[in-house]
Amino acid sequence: METVRRSLESRLVGARISNCCVTEKKILRSTRGVDILEGQTVLSLDRRGKYLIVETDRHHVIVHLGMTGQLTIRDPNRPDSQSFDRHPVTGLETAVQHPPDRHTHFHVCLSDGRSLLFRDTRKFGRVFVLEKDGHSLLDFFAARKLGLEPFSPSYQLPAFLALLRKRTLRIKSLLLNQSFVAGVGNIYADEALFEAGIHPARRTTTLRRSEKILLFEKVLVVLERGIRNKGTTFRDFIDGDGREGDNRDELFVYGRAGEPCLRCGTAIRKIVVSQRGTHFCPTCQPRKR
């Protein structure tokens, strides 16, 4: 989501909203609809965990992409893609720039002729519209109990260690729990654990202090690498310009089951932890320490 935010920020901030519409009621979480956004100006784009926060004159629009959501700018000054590229495994379709289709559920038309389009084939994404009354945004995130935010002042080692002491989960399960560290998804959890040399199925109670400190550091390392490479595209991820990320070639374990470890040559294994496919190197990440 940080990659999407950065790609959209310079294109949206300062833009005036001429009209909006939602064509799939399931994705909208607002009692007053989206017409109230018309005539407002986009003031800023922020992020909390996996939520994009669009600030306008009088509202906050919060977007969660779900599993397959895509948030892109359509610019009339550049050509639309002639067709969507269909992924051979998932069947999901992407395009660098596309006109609205049956999967485009949220349209924000800007006064300069451009559009912000939210496309989601599986309809798990959500759009929230909140009044800027001084409390709505705080209440929204308080209700979701998000944890430490990487790259923010809240991401401090003492707080990280304190949260670890309170949990007995498998460490991969905890990393995916947004109340621990917000914004870490399946790919980056696997990569952080590899970088720290920690088996994903180990209980948090078995981790030594040195391992906890290393994991604290490696979470930032893998997230920084992913952002620098503009995200990781395996299936449907694209940034605000409709472009795939380049981080896939930088991964050590995720998506590489059966391939040799880039550090030791051992075959990468795939198991299931918390119902999520989990990749690790049995040599670099032994189960017992």
Among 110, 144, 178, give the residue marking a domain's end.
144
Judgement on whether residues 132 and 176 belong to the same structural domain of the protein: no
Collapse the DSSP code of 124 into the 3-class scheme (helix H, G, I; strand E, B; otherwise coil) and give the result.
coil
Same domain? 110 vs 218 = no
Distance CA 188, CA 44 (A): 27
Do 222 and 137 reside in the same domain of the chain? no
224-243 in b/e form (b: 16+ CB < 10 A) is ebbbebbbbbbebbbbbbbb
Query: Is 137 part of a structural domain of the chain?
Result: yes
Q: pLDDT tens track of the chain, all 289 residues? A: 888 888 899 999 999 999 999 999 999 988 788 999 999 999 999 999 899 999 999 999 999 998 888 898 998 888 887 666 655 544 555 566 778 889 999 999 999 999 999 999 889 999 999 999 877 898 999 999 999 999 899 999 999 999 999 889 999 999 999 999 998 989 999 999 999 999 999 999 999 999 999 999 999 999 988 888 766 544 555 655 655 555 667 899 998 999 999 999 999 999 999 899 999 999 999 987 5
In contact, 250 and 260? CB cutoff 8 Å = no
Average pLDDT value for the chain: 88
Distance CA 48, CA 222 (A): 18
Q: Are residues 136 and 180 in the same domain?
A: no
Distance in angstroms (rounded) separating the CA atoms of residues 115 and 161: 44
* Same-domain pairing of 161 and 189: yes
Question: Model's pTM, two decimal places?
Answer: 0.79
Count how many Cα atoms sit within 13 Å of the Cα of residue 123 in the half-sphere of its side chain: 10
CATH code: domain of residue 243: 1.10.8.50
The distance of Cα 270 from the centroid of its chain, to the nearest Å, equals 22
Are residue 27 and residue 105 in the same domain, yes or no?
A: yes
Q: Considering 92, 121, 144, which residue would you say is the last residue of a domain? A: 144
Q: List, for residues 194-247, the tens digit of each pLDDT value.
A: 999 999 999 999 999 999 999 999 999 999 888 887 665 445 556 556 555 556
| Structural domain includes residue 244 | yes
Phi, psi of 52 (to 5 degrees): -90, 130
Which CATH number is 26's domain given?
3.20.190.10
Indicate if the alpha-carbon torsion angle 81, 236, 229, 64 is positive or negative: positive
Is 81 within a domain?
Answer: yes
Q: Answer whether residue 231 is part of any domain.
A: yes
Is residue 161 located within the same domain as residue 233? Answer: yes
DSSP, collapsed to helix, strand or coil, labels residue 46 as: strand
Query: What is the domain range of residue 206?
Result: 157-280
First-to-last alpha carbon distance for the chain, in angstroms, is: 35
Six-digit token string for 160: 């990280």
Among residues 144, 177, 193, the one where a domain terminates is 144
Query: Does residue 8 contact residue 231 with C-beta atoms inside 8 Å?
Result: no
